[in-house]
A = this chain, B = another copy of it.
Amino acid sequence: MVWVRVSKSDSFLLFMFLFALPLRCLQATQESPHIYTREEVRSHSSPETRIWVTLGCEVFDVTEFVDLHPGGPSKLMLAAGGPLEPFWALYAVHNQPHVREMLAQYKIGELSPEDKAPSTLKTSDPYIDDPVRHPALKVNSQRPFNAEPPPELLTENYITPNPIFFTRNHLPVPNLDPETYRLHVVGPPGGQSLCLSLDDLYKFPKHEITVTLQCAGNRRSEMTQFKEVRGLEWNIGAISTARWAGARLCDVLAKAGHQLCETEAHVCFEGLDSDPTGTAYGASIPLARAMDPEAEVLLAYEMNGQPLPRDHGFPVRVVVPGVVGARHVKWLGKVSVEPEESYSHWQRRDYKGFSPSVDWDTVDFDSAPSIQELPVQSAITEPKDGETVQSGEVTIKGYAWSGGGRAVVRVDVSLDGGLTWHVAELDGEEQRPRKAWAWRLWQLQAPVPAGRKELNIVCKAVDDSYNVQPDTVAPIWNLRGVLSNAWHHVHVHVAP
């Protein structure tokens, strides 16, 4: 069994999460504590109702502590009404004795024993077997599961922790056995096909890269504000970054006997997720990209040093750096080289951009190319829309990314809706030329102009082809609400 690969630091967290915390229940005081249900705890999630959280079987009222939280009140509020464990698992700094001691002051009781059992399962539900998700995720759709991290966690780390990496599923999550899993790679005409086990995939040279994935529908909710579209209401979080490892697709294709010929050929991927009629998720990318070692397309089996989580394609998914998330097919079952792009619905009848003049009566899906590389993008993650900031100085944070390996070279930030601009500081790793697959986080400390009661904060990024984001969303509006990359606005109040 080689497929479970857990790093030392992660295994410590996993240990704390799975074993260490429940142990505390056995060590609870002998005094008879107040007993609460999970539902009671859930109803205490705002300053008005007071703010309760749980850790193991213990219940805490942290209302008075929220403003003292070293990571900021907004981070602690993510756990309001629920368990701390999923958040502490992300932030190892909490696993220290003095943190436990601080928390102990706020204990008000314990959870009822029956509240630790899993909820009842409905066996007729095709999503019954979907994995348990992190409570911080903002759910846009439960079935299929689609969810994004909240802005205040999104840019907390350059590498997005696996549990809060945005999830875009089209179908129920398959439950695959790594022992019997096989990847079918169709050979060229007259050649032999490959049938690869996970162990076979591990024998290819292991390639590791940091890649940002973005859904074509990221920031769709801003398009909807202009005019209705069909699609999930993504905020700014349908984007995340991970360190991926796996076999290079070009190595696997070469092993199967494929060569690059000057054609329109595509490499088609089929997932092992399927709808009730048996239709699997599918998508494709040009053969030229697949065969180019510099394009670094992966058949990934690791995400941030772990086996892929089930929501992210366990045991194998495609990672196509610089390309829209829809082509990064998860639970990969089959790879083939075809004369044209995939006939999948998601390749030919979705994930395409149209003029604002096109509606559902006039749309001709064949008239637009399927989205591959994405345009330049950026968004503000801090402060939040509607927040009140202190006068004096404001700190603004966000992310910026561009498709096709184009590096972000500058982020401009405005406090006055775009009349005047500041240049933000770019954090994180310098990027390789033509292979800038990952986002840049950025921040700006700017003086709040005296006497201002409100700020209309705007950001816009520039990539190394000097492409920029459009000023407004209406002229890029399209009926599916994809490719929403106009300037991002956040309106805040200034404390008097």
29 contacts between A and B (CB under 8 A): A286-B433, A288-B433, A353-B410, A353-B462, A355-B421, A355-B423, A356-B412, A356-B421, A357-B421, A369-B464, A371-B466, A372-B465, A373-B406, A373-B464, A373-B465, A374-B466, A375-B466, A375-B467, A403-B465, A404-B404, A404-B465, A421-B475, A468-B470, A468-B475, A468-B476, A469-B470, A470-B471, A471-B471, A471-B472
A410 touches B465 (CB 8 A): no
Closest chain-B Cβ to A483's Cβ sits at a distance in Å of 5
Verify if A21 is at the interface (C-beta below 8 Å from B).
no
- Which residues 359-408 in A have Cβ within 8 Å of B in the complex? 368-369, 371-376, 403-404, 406
Which of A288, A460, A468, A483 neighbours the largest number of chain B CB atoms within 10 Å of its CB? A468
Copies of this chain assembled into the complex: 2
Q: Is the interface of A mostly helix, strand, loop or mixed?
A: loop
Instruction: Please measure, in the bound complex, the distance between the C-alpha atom of A376 and the C-alpha atom of B467, giving whole angstroms.
Output: 7
Beta-carbon nearest neighbor of A371 in chain B: B466
What is the chain B residue whose CB lies nearest that of A469? Answer: B470
Nearest opposing residue in chain B for A262, CB measure: B432
Which residues of B have CB within 8 Å of A472?
471
- Using an 8 Å CB-CB cutoff, how does the interface string of A252-290 with B read, 1 for contact, 0 for none? 000000000000100000000000000000000010100
Contact residues in B for A420 (Cβ distance below 8 Å): 356-357
Q: Are B465 and A375 in contact (CB under 8 A)?
A: yes
Residue interface bits A127-156, CB-to-B below 8 A is 1, else 0: 000000000000000000000000000000
Give A423 to B354 CA distance when docked, in angstroms.
9
A65-94 vs B: 1/0 string, CB under 8 Å? 000000000000000000000000000000
Instruction: Give the docked Cα–Cα distance between A368 and B410 (Å).
Output: 8
Q: What separation, in Å, do the CA atoms of A418 and B474 have in the docked complex?
A: 9
Taking the complex as formed, is A422 at the interface, i.e. its CB lies under 8 A from any CB of chain B? yes
Distance (Å) between the CB of A405 and the closest chain B CB? Answer: 10
* Shortest Cβ gap from A383 to chain B (Å): 21
Interface string of A432-463 (1 = CB under 8 A from B): 01100000000000000000000000001010
Q: Is A409 an interface residue (CB 8 A)?
A: yes
Whether B422 lies near A357 (C-beta < 8 A) is yes
Chain B residues lying within 8 Å of A403, measured Cβ to Cβ, are 465
Given A410-B368, A433-B288, A475-B418: A353 and B466 interface contact (C-beta under 8 Å) = yes
- Docked CA distance A433–B472 (Å): 29
**A465 CA / B476 CA spacing, docked (Å):** 14
Nearest CB in chain B: distance from A367 CB, A? 8
A412–B356 Cα distance when bound, in Å, is 9
Interchain nearest-CB distance for A475 vs B (Å): 6
Question: In the assembled complex, which residues on chain B have CB atoms less than 8 Å from the CB atom of A471?
Answer: 470-472, 475
List the B residue with the shortest CB-CB distance to A423. B355
Cβ-defined contact, B465 with A374, below 8 A:
yes
Q: Map CB proximity to B onto A146-173 as digits: 1 under 8 Å, 0 otherwise.
A: 0000000000000000000000000000
